[in-house]
Structure 1
Amino acid sequence: MTIQLTKGDITKIKVDAIVNAANSSLLGGGGVDGAIHRAGGPKILEECIQIRNRQGGCKTGEAVITTGGNLPAKYVIHTVGPVWHGGDKREEELLHNAYTNSLRLAEENNVTSIAFPNISTGIYGFPKQRAAEIAVKAVSDFKASTLKQVFFVCFDDENYNIYKLLGVEAV
């Protein structure tokens, strides 16, 4: 499995699945969540509502999957990262779980390529350096069978440079 870094808009990446940094309601929001819902169209929201009706949303650290709608990706894996509260509320463990559970769900759906945004580092306030370290470790430690390519897609220079300094190969 290769792990690579790119800068840009995750809604335009051509992979089997993109990961959405969702909120627990699964109804869209700001940041990457809002961008994915806008670009993907109403089908994603319809499936998110069905999931909510079935299980009441998505808990922090968990993941669910929907169609990619109008996106180049076949699937969107919605995961809920933790809100940063200073680090004493299991935030690091929950962020690791968000990555691991997204990867597990990708494997269950025979996904060969996946793209992650910088989960929890926007409005949720997770320190970017530590979040990147957790993301890289979670992906590196994951034992993949179907997954061949993992991309970290950074929207801004700050996150991009952090991943680059961690040794993630840029493409």
Structure 2
Amino acid sequence: MKIRCVQGDITKVTADIIVNAANTSLLGGGGVDGAIHKAGGKTILEECIKIRNKQGGCKTGEAVITTGGLLPAKYVIHTVGSVWNGGSNNEEELLKNCYSNSLKLAKEHNAKSIAFPNISTGIYKFPKEKAALIAVNTIKENPIIDEVIFVCYDDENYGVYKKLLYMFVMISVDGERDL
């Protein structure tokens, strides 16, 4: 499995699947969610409405899938990250579920590549370093996709992921420690 990070706009990334840091309503919002809905066109929203009508939205830690609409990706996986409340409300496990459930859906749709944003680190206020470690460890524990791309919009997240992935490579080479 190849893991890499890039800085930029997830709506422009070429991958089989991109992941949307959605809200429970699946109706779009701000940040990554708003950008994906805007760039992907009305098809994504229409499919989200169908999912919402069928199951009532998407719970924190869960994931659902739609087509990619006008995006370069074939599909969009919508997952709802956890809001940080000091770490005492199962936030870490719920964030881990976002990544593992997204990977499972990607595998079910025969994806070879998946691009993740920095789930929960914006308005949901999850600590960036903690969120990155959860993301990388969960990906490492579930090596079921050929390529994983972490797409960082801001400089801070990009720096966190670059450092963490560099450490991951170094640790993997020496084999003495594990993330």
TM bucket, shorter chain: over 0.9
Identity among equivalent pairs (%): 69
Unpaired stretches in structure 2, ≥5 consecutive residues: 169-179
The one-letter code sitting in structure 2 at the alignment partner of 1:89 is N
Distance 1:76 1:43 in 2: 11
Deviation per residue, 1:126-168 (Å, 9 max, x gap): 0001000000000011041xx2100000001100000111125
Q: Which has the larger radius of gyration?
A: 2
1:155 alignment counterpart: 153
Spell out structure 1 runs of 4+ moving beyond 4 A: none
Distance 1:31 1:143 in 2: 28
TM-score, L = length of structure 1:
0.96
1:78-157 correspondence to structure 2 within 5 Å: 78-144=78-144, 147-157=145-155
SS in 2 for 1:166: helix
Higher relative contact order (CA 8 A, sep 6+): 1
2:7 alignment counterpart: 7
SS in 1 for 2:78: strand
The one-letter code sitting in structure 2 at the alignment partner of 1:164 is K
Which is richer in helix?
2
Q: How many residue pairs align between the two structures?
A: 167
SS in 2 for 1:115: strand
TM-score, L = length of structure 2:
0.92
The one-letter code sitting in structure 1 at the alignment partner of 2:92 is E
The one-letter code sitting in structure 1 at the alignment partner of 2:161 is Y
SS in 2 for 1:25: coil
2:47 alignment counterpart: 47
Distance 1:6 1:141 in 2: 21
SS in 2 for 1:94: helix
Give the aligned CA root-mean-square deviation in angstroms: 0.9
